[in-house]
Amino acid sequence: MRDTRVNTGDTERTPARMVLRFLARHPRSVGTLTAVGITGAYVGFHTMLIAAGVAVAAGVSWRLLDRPTFDRFAGRLLRAWWRRWFVYHRKWADIAFGCGLTSSNRHGHSLLPKLLSVRSTFCWDSVRLRMVRGQAAEDFEQVLDRLANAYNARRATLRTIKPGVISLDIQKREPFDTLFLPLPEMPRDEAAVDLARLPLGRDEYGRDFALDLVGGIHYLIAGATGAGKGSWMWGLLRALAPWIRSGLVRLWVLDPKGGMEFGQGAELFHRFATDDTSGLDLTREYVDALDARKEDMGRQGRRNWAPSAEQPLDLLLVDELAAMSEYTDRDISREFTKLLSKALTQYRAVGGRVVGATQEPIKEVVPMRGLFPTKIALRLEEASYVDMALGEGVRERGAFADQIPDYMPGVAYLKQDGKREPLRVRAAYTSDDDITELVRFATSADATVLDFPNRDDGTDSADSPDTGGESSETDDIEYIEDDGEDDDFDAA
């Protein structure tokens, strides 16, 4: 059994034992120190100091120039190390004692849950703990608020990793609290549309965030009711506005909840279905159209598709997948699932794209969810839904979509195939007025389209919960400031 005791007295702790124990328990730290020592002896400590100085300067410049990539490759590891030793470990004994998480054995020795490791993402830290024998996860659950307060964090939640081991997940900041999120301006020109960068909102680092229909291909959007799926989908359509207008993109929209979400944009759509039966017809037609294009291109020996009026980007939008795959006739569900899987696997190279939304990312509703290269999880009802939506193990890597508060619609975690870390992002709010602006623009025949009236006077057209009616001038954007996050988060 591992020794989790504190105040055990010195009876067993001879210096030799303590040194051996330290060596065995901290192989990485000991290995690093040894390597530094040997290198120093070999090349000289003066040279090493200069090399270290250069490395620090390079690291600082990297962080200043491109914080997200610095964070992905180095920052999170350095931060996890720093926090493990100088935040969590340093205060752990006092905090565990204060929260009543210590216990004692029959010899009267105090026992302390052992801090095993720390993982860090931009917003969350996960502190892995081995519980003392006799403790249960519920003992920690009861004091989560006290733990969060003790570490000056916004909130803390708990996960059981395996018998005896738990993860205390601590949210240390919420960038979208202070980030003013203006709705990206709707492009007016075909040339202004870049399929690989369709602006939608901001990411947790305060950078502009855009959807990518070239590399990201198909999108699965999962979110509980009211989580803000609408802003994501309408935001995408706004970013494509000039292409919709000129026919470079054709919209096939399936809104089987009676057209509640997309009814307002019916005029924009090439095909629109509002129930499961007509939805199936629409999906069949979509597949037939792209099959025909595929064959056509094959006959002509063309391997590269480029959007044109004859061969536009064909975007299939499905608002509630469950209505087509779960809460419908078995025959409809079976055929729809087959057709959608085909659409997801065969039309990338011929201009077919799919965006599907669901409240429940379970296997019965989205059996083909692995075929969506990009997955987005807005606020979800269950912790187990997160991995269902984003992929196995992504919650463990910090995508706590079930912890997104319901007063933050539009906030989501995005996971792209090929990228290990999920990214926390927020879509700007697309109000009914913004949709009206899109419809007017994309359906007007002449080229001169006036700005939507509300925007002329500099007021935000959206009654956006975010802005509280503030000016929509982009100069007002408030970027996330790095205001000494570590200090802020340090134990009180």
Ligand X SMILES: Nc1ncnc2c1ncn2[C@@H]1O[C@H](COP(=O)(O)OP(=O)(O)OP(=O)(O)O)[C@@H](O)[C@H]1O
Question: Do 459 and 472 contact (CB within 8 A), yes or no?
Answer: yes
Is residue 465 near ligand X by the rule CB under 6 A? yes
* Nearest-10 Cα torsion for 225, 231, 236, 237: 100
Helix (H, G, I), strand (E, B) or coil at 363: coil
d(C-alpha 454, C-alpha 239), whole Å = 19
Q: From the list 37, 44, 226, 263, which residue makes contact with ligand X (rule: CB under 6 A)?
A: 226
Is residue 342 near ligand X by the rule CB under 6 A? no
Question: Do 345 and 364 contact (CB within 8 A), yes or no?
Answer: no
Q: Give whichever of 166 and 354 is closer to ligand X, judged by the CB atom.
A: 354
Angle at 237 between CA 236 and CA 239, to 5 degrees: 65
**Is 374 labelled a binding residue?**
no
Window 352-381: contact mask with ligand X (x via CB under 6 A): -------x----------------------
**Is 24 labelled a binding residue?**
no
Is residue 225 near ligand X by the rule CB under 6 A? yes
As beta bridge partners, residue 219 has 355, 374
Number of residues that bind ligand X (CB under 6 A): 18
Is residue 227 near ligand X by the rule CB under 6 A? yes
As beta bridge partners, residue 160 has 166
Is residue 184 near ligand X by the rule CB under 6 A? no
Is residue 199 near ligand X by the rule CB under 6 A? no
Minimum gap (Å) between residue 126 Cβ and ligand X: 27
**Is 157 labelled a binding residue?**
no
Is residue 265 near ligand X by the rule CB under 6 A? no
Is residue 468 near ligand X by the rule CB under 6 A? no
**Is 227 labelled a binding residue?**
yes
Is residue 409 near ligand X by the rule CB under 6 A? yes
Question: Do 305 and 277 contact (CB within 8 A), yes or no?
Answer: no
**Is 391 labelled a binding residue?**
no
As beta bridge partners, residue 6 has 110
**How far, rounded to the nearest angstrom, does the alpha carbon of residue 490 sit from its chain's CA centroid?**
25
Is residue 261 near ligand X by the rule CB under 6 A? yes
**Is 223 labelled a binding residue?**
yes
**Is 229 labelled a binding residue?**
yes
Question: Do 203 and 424 contact (CB within 8 A), yes or no?
Answer: yes
Tell me the pairing of strands 271-273 and 249-254.
parallel
Is residue 228 near ligand X by the rule CB under 6 A? yes
Under DSSP, the state recorded for 98 is H
Is residue 231 near ligand X by the rule CB under 6 A? yes
**Is 225 labelled a binding residue?**
yes
Tell me the pairing of strands 423-427 and 411-416.
antiparallel
**What does the radius of gyration of the chain's CA atoms come to, in whole angstroms?**
27
Q: From the list 175, 380, 466, 480, which residue makes contact with ligand X (rule: CB under 6 A)?
A: 466
Residue environment code for 179-191, b if the CB has 16+ CB neighbours within 10 A, otherwise e = bbbbbbebbbeee
Give the residue nearest to ligand X (CB).
Answer: 410
CA 37 to each of CA 40, 42, 48, 54: distance values in angstroms, whole numbers, following the listed order: 5, 9, 10, 18
Q: Give whichever of 347 and 429 is closer to ligand X, judged by the CB atom.
A: 429
Q: From the list 187, 230, 242, 398, which residue makes contact with ligand X (rule: CB under 6 A)?
A: 230
Minimum gap (Å) between residue 431 Cβ and ligand X: 8
Q: Which helix (H) or strand (E) holds 55?
A: helix 45-65
Please count the residues of the chain: 492
Q: Give whichever of 321 and 340 is closer to ligand X, judged by the CB atom.
A: 321
- Stretch of 54-62, 208-216, 291-299, 458-466 contacting ligand X, by CB under 6 A: 458-466
Minimum gap (Å) between residue 10 Cβ and ligand X: 59
Q: Give whichever of 282 and 427 is closer to ligand X, judged by the CB atom.
A: 427
- Stretch of 32-40, 64-72, 224-232, 294-302 contacting ligand X, by CB under 6 A: 224-232
d(C-alpha 262, C-alpha 435), whole Å = 10
Binding site listing for ATP: 223-230
Binding site listing: 223-230
Residues at the contact surface with ligand X, assessed by CB under 6 A? 223, 225-231, 261, 359, 409-410, 427-429, 464-466
